[in-house]
Structure 1
Amino acid sequence: MDWNRWYSLKSYLRTSLWTVPLIAVAIYAVLKPLTEMAGRSMTRQGILDPKTGFLGLSMTGARSLVGDIVSADLAFLVFTFGSLLVAIQVAGGQYTPRIIATTLLRDNIIRSISGLFVFSLLFANRTLGWMGENEVHQLQVFIAALCGFASVVAFLFLIDYAAKSLRPVSLVARVGELGIAVIESVYPAPTTGAITQPERDKERGVPDRIVRQRGRSGIVLAVNLEMLVAKARRANAVIEFVPQVGDFVAVDDPLFYLYGNADTINDDRLRTLVAFGTERTMEQDPMFAFRILVDIALKALSAAINDPTTAVLAIDQLHRLLRMVGKRSLHVEEIMDKSGQVRVILRTPNWEDFVHISFREIRQCGVGSIQIARRLRAAIENLIQSLPEHRHEALRVELTLLDRAIASKHPFPEDLALARIPDSQGLGGSAASTANN
């Protein structure tokens, strides 16, 4: 299987709810015959009393117990998937549709509990159907009872977990955690100082070959950089990946620029090293985490919702991600092989891009809220204090723009003075301490 197809398959399985219940069906298919054989063996050897067993149930009691487990597990499954559909609609409307695939559908706890319900339902149903008129299969009934008890506990836990995970603070914190992981993988090296962008266009000139997109249009999800470097090294060439991860590429758009001895590189094999999809993912796209958080903040600041406190929670995570990005080396455009030769050129966002996406739209939509103005100022000033000097210029520009926007939105001097105080809580944090000082 080609790399891009394998990557797309893995991405699909990670965001599919049916995969874990399907695995539960496979586990059931393996364990059920084993437990039946174990039950017969234990009965023949006298280890298990066929009349009393572990629970001491009669035929009537066993049938009633297992029947209740089947009914309960079926109800749990219906409630779980029905509630999940409602949660997806609420999250998409209240926060952003991009939160669905990145968090809700990737939640392994929800998927695992659904798998437990499926396994327990199948096992109990099989046990109920396998019992004869005069024989109670005590081991199977006992295991079904354990699964039923586990299902009840898991269901109660799921209600509590779902209620907590759908809170704004939980969703933005989860996006922040995913963003931190992506930043660490895409930008592994710490920053060493001011970076000057390479003038590769002037150095390399016109590409010797252009590989264009074929097949279907889509969004770039990921690129197999290791294989690109290996192909470029074997051909003694330089491969430039034209779009950026997260870009939409239409059919016949340039996909690769090839420099040097590029005739030996097969175009179709090169295209298989790029995974496309219909929606951006975070695996190699750190900017997508910023995009989701900004979208949540903008939705919260809209007139229909008007929830600036949720926007402040999103700014908290943007502040956290910017501190991480600001301490990393973002100059990864030229990727070298082991000999130190440049083999692959990959465009990535620079520091200004991250700063712009974090502050510009939120400032434009939310500067009229004193909470937002104060939280943005606190974030910018903290970043100026904590990040290296070469990161300050873009932040000072944002601070100047914030001052100008605040002055245009707050005509009263008292409101203007209050809005210019940095506050990590938006309102209620540093304002009181500043006044006392």
Structure 2
Amino acid sequence: MDWNRRYSLTSYLRSSLWTVPLIAVAIYAVVKPVTEMVGRWMIKQGTLDPKTGFLGLSMTGARSLVGDIVSADMAFLVFTFGSLLVAIQVAGGQYTPRIIATTLLRDNIIRGISGLFVFTLLFANRTLGWMGESEVHQLQVFITAIFGFASVVAFLFLIDYAAKFLRPVSLVARVGEQGIAVIESVYRARTTDVPAPPERDKERGTPDRIVRQRGKSGIALAVNLEMLVAKARRAGIVIEFVPQVGDFVAVDEPLFYLYGNSSAIDDRRLCALVAVGRERTMEQDPMFAFRILVDIALKALSAAINDPTTAVLAIDQLHRLLRMVGKRSLHIEEIADTSGRVRVILRTPNWEDFVHISFREIRQCGAGSIQVARRLRAAIENLIQTLPEHRHDALLVELTLLDRAIVSKHPFQEDLALARIPDSQGLGGSRRNDEQLALPEASHAQAHNGHR
């Protein structure tokens, strides 16, 4: 199987809810015959009394217990999947549809508990059907009781976990954690106080060969960089991946530029090193975490929802991600082989791209909210204080635009002065100094004198 197909299959399985219950079915198919053989062996050895067993249940009691467990697990499964469908609809409508595949369906706790329910249901149903009219299979009943108790505990835990998991603060924090992991994997080098060197595309001139997208159109999800470097080294050429991870690539659009003697490179094998799909994933796409957080903030700021506090929570995570990105080297990724020669060029977002996506849309939609304006200012000023100097220009532009937007949104001087105060909580978490209070207090005095 080609690498791109393996990657797409792995990504699909990781975001599919049915995979863990299917694994639970396979485990049941192995565990159940083993427990039956162990139960027969224990009875033959005399270590297990077939009448009293571990629980001392009669046939009527055992059937009642196992039957109750079957009914309970069936109810647990119906409730879990029904509630999950409702949660997906609510999360997609209130936050953003992009968290469904990246966050909700990839949660291993939800998938693991659903697998436990499936396993217990199958095990209990088999135990109930295997019992005869006079023989109680004590070991199977005992194991069923253990798994039944575990299912009840897991169900109660799932209710509490899901209620906390679907809160805005939990969702944005999880997206932030995923974004941190992607940034660390894509941008491994630390930045310095010296700006990155200019791009070298013009020095390479016209590519000797262009490899175009074949098969189907889609979004570039990931690239196998190790194999690209190996192919480029063997052929003695430089391979440039034309789109950026996360870009939409149509059929016949350029996918690779090859510099040098590229006759030994097979197009099909080269294209097989690029995974293309319908929806962006986060594995090699650091910008996607920013996109999800910004979408959550924009949805919260919409007139239909009107929840600026959730927007502030999203800005918290954007601030966190920008601090991480600002300390990394973001110039065009030139990947060298073991001899130190550049073999692969991979375009990645630069600092301005991250700053624009983090602030522009939120400022346009949320400048009228005092707490959003204050949280944006706090984030920008903190980044200016903590990041290297060559990161400041883009941040200063955003600070200037924020000031202009605030002036246009707040006609009252008291509101304008309040909106200009940086506040990490949005509204209520800062200590205003005398200069910040001077304008509103003076305006208040003028208004009071006017009333008099």
Give the TM-score normalised by structure 1: 0.98
Aligned to 1:236: 236
Aligned to 1:180: 180
SS at match of 1:430: coil
What is the one-letter code of the residue matched to 1:365?
Answer: C
What is the one-letter code of the residue matched to 1:161?
Answer: Y
Aligned to 1:91: 91
Report deviation, 1:432. Answer: 5.5
What is the one-letter code of the residue matched to 1:75?
Answer: A
Q: Does 1:302 align with 2:292?
A: no
Aligned to 1:358: 358
Matches of 1:185 and 1:333, distance apart in 2: 13
1:187–1:332 contact (8 Å) kept in structure 2: no
Matches of 2:433 and 2:13, distance apart in 1: 51
Aligned to 1:145: 145
Matches of 1:110 and 1:43, distance apart in 2: 38
Aligned to 1:336: 336
Aligned to 1:385: 385
Aligned to 2:17: 17
Matches of 1:397 and 1:432, distance apart in 2: 24
1:213–1:253 contact (8 Å) kept in structure 2: yes
1:95–1:296 contact (8 Å) kept in structure 2: yes
Report deviation, 1:40. Answer: 0.5
1:49-128 superposed matches below 5 A: 49-128=49-128
Matches of 2:383 and 2:319, distance apart in 1: 8
What is the one-letter code of the residue matched to 1:424?
Answer: S
Matches of 1:376 and 1:199, distance apart in 2: 31
Matches of 1:133 and 1:210, distance apart in 2: 75
Matches of 1:332 and 1:109, distance apart in 2: 38
Q: Which runs of 4+ in 1 moved over 6 A?
A: 433-437
SS at match of 2:255: strand
Aligned to 1:40: 40
Report deviation, 1:194. Answer: 3.0
2:199–2:332 contact (8 Å) kept in structure 1: no
Aligned to 1:2: 2
CA deviation profile, 1:18-64 (whole Å, cap 9, x unmatched): 10000000000000000000000111111111111110100000000
Matches of 2:250 and 2:323, distance apart in 1: 34
- My pick for the range that moved more, 201-210 or 285-294, is 201-210
Matches of 1:36 and 1:196, distance apart in 2: 67
CA deviation profile, 1:233-290 (whole Å, cap 9, x unmatched): 0000010100000000000000001010111100000000000110000000010000
Matches of 2:150 and 2:188, distance apart in 1: 42
SS at match of 2:219: strand
Aligned to 2:266: 266
- My pick for the range that moved more, 154-163 or 191-200, is 191-200
What is the one-letter code of the residue matched to 1:172?
Answer: V
Aligned to 2:399: 399
Matches of 1:280 and 1:155, distance apart in 2: 32
Aligned to 2:446: none
Give the TM-score normalised by structure 2: 0.95
1:200-279 superposed matches below 5 A: 200-279=200-279
SS at match of 1:246: coil
Matches of 1:317 and 1:199, distance apart in 2: 30
**Corresponding pairs, count:** 437
Aligned to 2:449: none
SS at match of 2:21: helix
Report deviation, 1:201. Answer: 2.6
SS at match of 1:257: strand
Report deviation, 1:335. Answer: 1.0
1:122/1:318 Cα in 2 relative to 1: closer, same or farther (>3 Å)? same
Report deviation, 1:340. Answer: 1.2
Matches of 2:25 and 2:32, distance apart in 1: 10
Matches of 2:289 and 2:75, distance apart in 1: 36
Q: Does 1:326 align with 2:335?
A: no
Q: Does 1:423 align with 2:423?
A: yes
Matches of 1:201 and 1:355, distance apart in 2: 24
CA deviation profile, 1:57-103 (whole Å, cap 9, x unmatched): 00000000000000000000000000000000000000000010010
SS at match of 2:229: helix
Matches of 2:233 and 2:208, distance apart in 1: 16
Matches of 1:427 and 1:387, distance apart in 2: 25
How many percent of aligned residue pairs carry the same amino acid? Answer: 86
Report deviation, 1:196. Answer: 3.5
Matches of 1:323 and 1:348, distance apart in 2: 17
Report deviation, 1:436. Answer: 8.8
Report deviation, 1:188. Answer: 1.3
